[in-house]
Amino acid sequence: MASVGTTRSVLRLLSSQPILKQAVRGYADEMAFTFAAANKVFYANSNVKQVDVPSFSGAFGILPKHVPTLAVLKPGVVTVFEQDGSSKKVFVSSGTVTINEDSSVQVLAEEAHPVEDLDASAAREQLSKAQGDLSKATSEQEKAEALIAIEVAEALVAAA
């Protein structure tokens, strides 16, 4: 009797494992979305409908079961569509996007802020300051830095 009991519990243990794994993995149209910046975490392994990201190879939308890829973020707005249909817009300065084959998506930004927190006038100020820096820049490196600053500021102005 006792042996039957133990074998049954062992069987239960064995059978419960794959079920657990499945629950973590989720079914086909689910994605584990992580969106974090150095200053804040927006999503950690949460399930969302769609994510639109700006990348250097063009902006693209990510749905569950996207083909695995790597991309580099461009300054711009990441739009996250949540399961309940609401959307959230977050400005990112730079970073990376990783889509893995198990449908997990990582968006890592250097800095990110919700679009509603941006100040349009401050952004324009930033843009004119960056343009001033570019005209003053002498070395190649300074020029490149100013160009990056302009790129970010332009994206900021467009987003705010």
Rounded to a whole number of angstroms, the minimum distance from the CB of residue 148 to other proteins is 13
Rounded to a whole number of angstroms, the minimum distance from the CB of residue 33 to other proteins is 10
Could you say which of 1, 18, 67, 139 contacts other proteins (CB under 8 A)? 67
Gap between the Cα atoms of 32 and 105, Å rounded? 6
- Number of residues counted as binding other proteins (CB under 8 A): 30
Of the candidate spans 1-9, 91-99, 129-137, 141-149, the one that interacts with other proteins by CB under 8 A turns out to be: 91-99
Number of Cα atoms under 13 Å in the Cβ half of residue 41? 7
**Is there binding between residue 72 and other proteins (CB under 8 A)?**
yes
Q: Which of 156, 157, 146 is nearest to 93 (CA)?
A: 156
How far, rounded to the nearest angstrom, does the alpha carbon of residue 50 sit from its chain's CA centroid?
11
**Is there binding between residue 56 and other proteins (CB under 8 A)?**
yes
Positions 30 through 49 that interact with other proteins (CB under 8 A): 34, 36-41, 44-45
In degrees, rounded to 5, the angle at the alpha carbon of residue 17 between the alpha carbons of residues 12 and 20 is 120
x/- mask, other proteins, residues 97-136, rule CB under 8 A, reads: -x-xxx-x-xxx-xx-------------------------
Q: Which residues contact 115 (CB under 8 A, 6 or more apart)?
A: 77, 89, 90, 91, 159, 160
**Is there binding between residue 57 and other proteins (CB under 8 A)?**
yes
48: amino acid identity, one letter: V
Rounded to a whole number of angstroms, the minimum distance from the CB of residue 103 to other proteins is 11
Q: Which of 111, 152, 106, 158 is nearest to 129 (CA)?
A: 152
Contact residues: other proteins, CB under 8 A = 34, 36-41, 44-45, 56-57, 67-72, 94-96, 98, 100-102, 104, 106-108, 110-111
